[in-house]
Amino acid sequence: MNDETQISSKAAQTLKQVFGYDSFRPQQKQIVEQICKGEDALVLMPTGGGKSLCYQIPSLVREGVGIIISPLIALMQDQVDTLQQLGVSAAYLNSTLRAPQVQQVIQQLHAGELQMLYIAPERLMMSQTLVMLSQINIALFAIDEAHCVSQWGHDFRPEYIQLSVLHERFPHIPRIALTATADKATRQEIIERLSLQHATLFNSGFDRPNIRYSISENSGNARDQLLRFIQSEHPAEAGIVYCLSRKRVDELASWLCHKGLNALPYHAGLSTDRRRTHQQRFLREDGIIMVATIAFGMGIDKPDVRFVAHLNLPKSLEAYYQETGRAGRDGQPADAWMLYGLQDVIVLRQMQQQSEASEHYKRIEQHKLSAMLGFCEITSCRRQALLHYFGDYLDAPCGNCDTCLEPPKTWDATTAAQKALSCVHRTGQRFGVNHLIDVLMGKESERIKRFGHDEVSTFAIGKELNTQEWRHLYRQLISRGLLSVDIEGYGAIKLNEAARPILKGEPLQLRKLKKAAGRSSKRGKNNVEAFATPEENSLWEKLREHRKELADQQGVPPFVIFHDSTLREMVISRPANLLDMGQITGVGAKKLERYGDDFVGIITLSE
């Protein structure tokens, strides 16, 4: 056997033996072999794509310890637990350890006892750490969340910039940098700052096919819409609900609890202790709904989050993609569900105008917000649009987003838009949307009379639409940049140059108002498939119960013992002996040895 085939068969063996997986996913094989051969790689792979195996397998195949640099300290414990369950000797070094624990890890490193070490970048950069590393045998350096080197990104970590030192001090050790969020500019920054000019680029694109994207108008009762969505689509399942403010988070979490759901709040205003407890419960218990500000999420590795709901508009598609990306890491069906309304558009436009950033930066932000708003209003496939924004390409509509499943209707909005725009003009560009709608609808209020607006030519010319439809129209006109919101003028609506063609008669097609996506026959269910028989259901519950017992005994989250998908496979194929059990995806040699008898026992007893 030559070197390459030897590497390739060793890698495949490790995949099966240690992880219990039959085959590599697309790209994983090439990446693993590249690193095993001692060469560098830059890996762009979507969340849930399977980045960890790309450095874990080479760490096991190559001599020495694999050093994994990650900014996500909170996750290291779970990652190490997961590896230890697989029989891999792994440890971590970060600021949460006390001196004697650090000493122990260092001893293990010197003794060559560790196969993988997770380390925080600030710990790595300490001079004694670098000296220590130069004295031991290293298999590879993996730089996880590599986009953290980008100063423009939202996750910038200053210590990441210093990581180029690895290349200078350890030129012969292969490096693999990984990220799920890299547009072209960030990718270039990663290559330059980490000196990865010679690395092979592996780009798996950005698509998350198991996530179903849906966006609906907030019809004024967002929380009821949310409740209906959760109850009909994801009862008793884990999910994240994002809100803009802390106050809203607290209110919504307690309201959901009051409605009988298992919801917890999470935001920066809670004590560190409470935040930690809530995060732990989210990871360890079944079916918890985390209601959170965007302070929650970076590095949430929970594989079975079944939905991410947004009750406010994120400020860019990058943020939307990242936040929704926390759903369905396990590849099973998951929902990205969002409500947005006129108020969102106004608030975000205002925040932008108030920003004290440079003109250049403001222009970029404006462009990003427009892209986000455009995404909400499109009438074609959302996934195609989203991927296109990231420079990726999907040649046919996806069939798994709201616009594909229930194509939105459009209507000729030319006349209505002209009325809405001229009403802004006739009232002097000094009023907000509510007042404008009152004028259009011909409301005889004291306020209207005081300003003499019952005399203007647009008074009472808009009775063909109702209030909600006018709000919807104004939102679309603001989204499209035909109107803007003046903050100094207390939210007064002003005409933009872009409105002129419409006023002159250029036709305008708009998306029709749609009811929030609930369950409907056309959409079909988007759940993990139900079992066929009550016996299967009861076996599933028994297996889960036993998994929970084992997890609690060892103080680890249940998914560290077995993933849901592994238990499902056990239910369907009912392995009756250890040999068959070993064939189940996710049952490697060590887990078979530790848990095989128990689980085979439960299965055969339930025959």
Which residues of the shown chain bind ligand ADP in the complex (CB under 6 A)?
Answer: 21, 24-25, 28, 45, 47-53, 303, 329-330, 563
For the CB of residue 327, give the shortest distance to Zn ion in the complex, in Å: 16
For the CB of residue 9, give the shortest distance to ligand ADP in the complex, in Å: 16
Buried b (16+ CB within 10 A) or exposed e, 429-466: eebbbebbbbbbbebeeeebeeeebeebebbebbeebe
For the CB of residue 158, give the shortest distance to ligand ADP in the complex, in Å: 24
Nearer to ligand ADP, 66 or 462 (CB): 66
Nearer to ligand ADP, 144 or 344 (CB): 144
- First-residue to last-residue Cα distance in the chain: 46
Residue 47 binds: one of Zn ion, ligand ADP, none (C-beta under 5 to 8 A by kind): ligand ADP
Q: 341 by DSSP, 3-state: which?
A: coil
Q: Where are the beta strands (DSSP E) in 480-568?
A: 483-486, 492-495, 509-511
Binding mask 369-388 for Zn ion (x = CB under 5 A): ------------x-x-----
Strand 509-511, strand 410-412: pairing: antiparallel
For the CB of residue 30, give the shortest distance to ligand ADP in the complex, in Å: 13
Binding mask 236-255 for Zn ion (x = CB under 5 A): --------------------
Residue 422 binds: one of Zn ion, ligand ADP, none (C-beta under 5 to 8 A by kind): none
Query: Which phi and psi angles does 298 have, rounded to 5°?
Result: -55, 120
For the CB of residue 15, give the shortest distance to ligand ADP in the complex, in Å: 7
Contacts of 478 (CB under 8 A, 6+ apart): 342, 345, 346, 349, 484, 485, 493
For the CB of residue 587, give the shortest distance to ligand ADP in the complex, in Å: 12
Q: Where are the beta strands (DSSP E) in 38-167?
A: 41-44, 65-69, 90-93, 116-119, 138-143
Nearer to ligand ADP, 53 or 465 (CB): 53
Burial of 20 (0-12, 13-18, 19+ CB in 10 A): buried
Residue 52 binds: one of Zn ion, ligand ADP, none (C-beta under 5 to 8 A by kind): ligand ADP
Q: Which two tokens stand for residue 19?
A: 């992880």
- Distance CA(219)–CA(30), nearest Å, equals 49
Query: Which phi and psi angles does 458 have, rounded to 5°?
Result: -95, 5
For the CB of residue 570, give the shortest distance to ligand ADP in the complex, in Å: 15
Residue 314 binds: one of ligand ADP, Zn ion, none (C-beta under 5 to 8 A by kind): none
Say which residue the tokens 């639409």 belong to. 465
When binding is defined by CB under 5 A, the residue of 140, 182, 194, 398 that contacts Zn ion is 398
When binding is defined by CB under 5 A, the residue of 263, 401, 482, 603 that contacts Zn ion is 401
Nearer to ligand ADP, 48 or 58 (CB): 48
- Identify the helix (H) or strand (E) that includes residue 477: helix 467-479
Residue 401 binds: one of Zn ion, ligand ADP, none (C-beta under 5 to 8 A by kind): Zn ion
User: Which residues, in sequence order, are bridge partners of residue 287?
Assistant: none
For the CB of residue 561, give the shortest distance to ligand ADP in the complex, in Å: 13
Nearest 10 degrees: Cα torsion 97, 99, 103, 104: -50
Nearer to ligand ADP, 439 or 567 (CB): 567
Residue 404 binds: one of Zn ion, ligand ADP, none (C-beta under 5 to 8 A by kind): Zn ion
How many CB atoms lie under 10 A from the CB of residue 2? Answer: 7
Nearer to ligand ADP, 303 or 374 (CB): 303
- Where do contacts with Zn ion occur on this chain (CB under 5 A)? 381, 383, 397-398, 401, 404
